[in-house]
Amino acid sequence: GAVVSQHPSWVICKSGTSVKIECRSLDFQATTMFWYRQFPKQSLMLMATSNEGSKATYEQGVEKDKFLINHASLTLSTLTVTSAHPEDSSFYICRPHGYTFGSGTRLTVV
Amino acid sequence: DQQVKQNSPSLSVQEGRISILNCDYTNSMFDYFLWYKKYPAEGPTFLISISSIKDKNEDGRFTVFLNKSAKHLSLHIVPSQPGDSAVYFCAARAGSYQLPFGKGTKLSVIP
């Protein structure tokens, strides 16, 4: 079956630093990748949609300069949280279009 | 504007009883509905789905009911087990349009 590998599973970083989250499709090609963020009180929010070889499409209210998405190949999409702040602490999840979710990344910014 | 709504943020059920999780949607173009289950610090996992041409889909202890006229779907879990305690999200799809999610319902099954 299709395997989606998301890495790291958790990360702690200092305010002002940048963190890169990787989402890999191990045995299939992902043309489109969705990135989600889970807010406190459990709601799941779509942040952006990335398409291989083109710019990502961000949902309203999501800062594209802060959450950099790169989808350079059909097997790898990355989300970089730039100049992270404590309010960016959250659970980030990827999902290739048509496939299941990644295992998620718990980001804690201190 | 939330297209998919789960109005109950939490639900507690006794082990062995039925759990009923509800979801309402506003877009009549949605043609496919999914339920996901999520444990803390893990990605959501697919649970069960239903196409708009059906009104019921059953998989073991899990049954999803769809009422198109009311734009309402529900997930029934019977009998409920402690391992079912998780957050459940409903989601909807219209063609290839990316499915919006409800805000989730946290189910607690009490032994």
Tell me the three-class secondary structure of chain B, residue by residue. Answer: CCCEECCCCEEEEECCCCEEEEEEECCCCCCEEEEEEECCCCCCEEEEEEECCCCEEEECCEEEEEECCCCEEEEEECCCCHHHCEEEEEEEEECCECCCECCCEEEEEEC
- State whether B101 and A93 contact (CB < 8 Å): no
pLDDT above 80 for B105: yes
Closest to B55 (Cα-Cα) out of B45, B46, B64: B64
pLDDT of residue A3: 82
pLDDT of residue A11: 95
pLDDT (tens digit per residue) in A40-68: 666 788 899 998 888 899 988 999 999 99
pLDDT of residue A41: 66
pLDDT of residue B96: 59
User: Chain B neighbours among A 14-73 (CB < 8 Å)?
Assistant: 34, 41-44, 46, 49
pLDDT (tens digit per residue) in A67-97: 999 998 889 999 999 999 999 999 999 998 8
Query: Which among A46, A49, A100 has the least Cβ separation from residue B45?
Result: A100
Q: Which residue is closest to A103 within chain B, CA to CA?
A: B43
pLDDT (tens digit per residue) in B7-46: 999 999 999 999 999 999 988 888 889 999 999 888 889 8
For the segment A30-47, the average pLDDT, to the nearest whole number, is 84
Q: Give chain A positions within 8 Å (CB) of B42.
A: 103-104
For the segment B96-111, the average pLDDT, to the nearest whole number, is 82
pLDDT of residue B1: 59
pLDDT (tens digit per residue) in B43-82: 889 899 999 999 999 999 999 999 999 999 999 999 999 9
pLDDT of residue A85: 95
